[in-house]
Amino acid sequence: MRPLSLDLFCGAGGASMGLHRAGFDVIGIDINPQPRYPFRFVQADALLPPLDLTKFNFIWASPPCQAYSVAAHNERTRGKQYPDLIAPIRQMLVQSKIPYVIENVPGSPLIHPTKLRGTMFPELKVIRERWFETSWFMLQPMQVNEPRSLIRNHGYISVAGKGTQGWAYKMGLRWLVDDVRSAMGINWMSRAELSQAIPPQYSEYIARAAIHYYQIRG
């Protein structure tokens, strides 16, 4: 029997696929329908999960990032407010006493986060830096390649969301969905879903570290 992982705010399942590859069975929760989510899915509020958290061996959470992201900066300066979901999700996870990860964008208020970028994984062609607060101490992998330019010099492509996608377009680069899927290591998502996802390699790396640290078994 495989150990069981919960993916909160799972979206279309980028993080879930990495957890699966690391050896977990995965259940995803998201408040929105996720018709392309590849594992068992429960539509619900991730802050009020209708499942017993103590039944899980590992919990992953990716709360929405608009309160901190560059993509939503203009909307925030115009007065739009977004909830800070990191603090309440952290409280819930700490109280569960289950090993956990909270994932978010650079600049988010995570505690001593590990920072991963696509340049640390030779098979990826995105930068897509993300931060990860873990319930244990974890080392990040070494850089495989540090491009001097995000796109032109080394073939890395932009997977920006709606708010920053214009940056790539101004450079005359209009990526097809197949380009983005290949760059991200994801073959089942729409373009919009890809803009919100992390490469599965990130969560697989972190989940394997958790298994080693906590000696997680099914």
Range(s) of the domain holding residue 132: 4-214
Pick 176 or 88 by higher pLDDT.
88
pLDDT digits over 178-191, tens only?
Answer: 888 988 999 999 98
pTM over 0.85: yes
Q: What is the pLDDT of residue 44?
A: 98
Instruction: Give residue 147's pLDDT.
Output: 53
Tokens standing for residue 2: 């495989």
Q: Tell me, what's the pLDDT at 158?
A: 65
Is the pLDDT at 10 greater than 70, yes or no? Answer: yes
Residue 162 confidence (pLDDT): 46
Q: Are strands 114-116 and 130-134 parallel, antiparallel or unpaired?
A: antiparallel
Structure tokens belonging to residue 168: 């790539």
Q: In the prediction, which pLDDT does 79 show?
A: 58
How many structural domains does the chain have?
1
Over residues 24-60, the pLDDT tens digits come to 999 999 999 999 999 999 999 999 999 999 999 999 9
The per-residue pLDDT for range 11-25, each reduced to its tens digit, is 999 999 999 999 999
Average of per-residue pLDDT values in the chain: 85
For residue 23, give the CATH number of its domain.
3.40.50.150
Place of tokens 């540090």: 146
Inter-CA distances, 167 with 46, 59, 118, Å: 32, 34, 19
